[in-house]
Amino acid sequence: MAGLGQNRHGPERAPARHIRLVVSDMDGTLLTPDKQVTDQSLSAIRALEQAGVPLCLVSSRPAGGMEMYFDQLGIRTPYGALNGGTLFNPDRSIRSSLSLDPQTVLEALNMLERQNVDAWLFRGHDWLVRNAQDPLVLAESRTVQTIPTQVADLSTCVQNIGKVAGSTANHAALQAQEADIARKLAGRACVALSSKWFLDITPLHANKGHAVRQLADYYNISVDEVACIGDMNNDIPMLSIAGLAIAMGQATPDVQACAHFVTSANTQEGWARAITDVVLPRTIPAGNMPHPSPATPCAPTPQ
């Protein structure tokens, strides 16, 4: 398999020479378009394990939609759901969590409703929707193997919300909403597309960059020793701080501009190729890994 060349249009900072941790997105990155993990990717995960380098996942998915893959992947590491707003320990207990201010949730719901974009709410392990029979809800339920709770009035459920998701098949409208809602909620929330179907609105510091810092702290290492792989706008916060940033081949130009390397698409073994050609040659031997840090209690977000 030919090696990947460094991205000429990537960040000015040099890629890290030594990697002790890999943090990866799931949909569009580790997973193929039909939500599968290829044999080559599984082999690459085993190679990371043999090199003593943990793999942690951070996704816009709720926890259950991530955990459904862990047995197949054979990983028992901390992970970040809801774009990193909720961090879980390897035993699946919550390590830390952030939530949106209730007024911000109400404003987000109103803005999405005015544009005929369906809104979903996520709180802990709960997924709240207006219509459980909506085609996109049914499709997502199958994808993440989670049954949502139908609520007639979402405005009555605005406490402790970790993510508001806007969902529509009108991809152009969702792209337009990303910039508009981000401007209106500036300083209060992170707003980013997680796919062409979904717009995620999460607490201000609940992004994948926050998750990477938390995961690096868990292993007592610097973010400069972390390799991150992603494909969508919500991956930019982690790619922007990673010691080694890798974008998938189908990623947008904005995402690729944050990456030291651009691998193949997720239809062409891009994830496995990135690990094999770019990450593994930089890994630190297992004997040099520090011990994970203990969990630090997280104060609840003021409401």
DSSP 139-187: HHHHHHT-PPEE-S-GGG--TT--EEEEE-S-HHHHHHHHHHHHHHTTT
Structural tokens at position 11: 């960040």
Give the pLDDT score at 294. 54
User: Where is 270: in which H helix or E strand?
Assistant: helix 270-274
Give the C-alpha distances (Å, rounded to integers) separating 175 from 137, 233, 277: 20, 11, 33
Give the pLDDT score at 153. 96
Residue 290, classified by CB atoms within 10 Å of its CB into exposed (0-12), middle (13-18) or buried (19+), is exposed
**Adjacent-strand bridge partners of 122:** 127, 163
Portions of the chain given CATH number 3.40.50.1000 = 21-96+207-284
Write the pLDDT tens digit of every residue in 101-132.
Answer: 999 999 999 999 998 899 999 987 899 999 99
Judging by DSSP bridges, how do beta strands 163-167 and 198-203 pair with one another?
A: antiparallel
Give the pLDDT score at 296. 44
Give the pLDDT score at 301. 34
User: Which parts of the chain sit beneath pLDDT 70?
Assistant: 1-3, 285-303
Pick the CATH number of 102-203 from 3.30.1240.10, 3.30.230.10, 2.40.128.260, 2.30.40.10: 3.30.1240.10
21-96+207-284: which CATH architecture?
3-Layer(aba) Sandwich (3.40)
pTM: 0.82
Give the pLDDT score at 7. 86
Write the pLDDT tens digit of every residue in 196-246.
Answer: 889 999 998 889 999 999 999 999 999 999 999 999 999 999 999 999 999
Report the distance separating Cα 167 and Cα 136, nearest Å.
Answer: 7
Portions of the chain given CATH number 3.30.1240.10 = 102-203
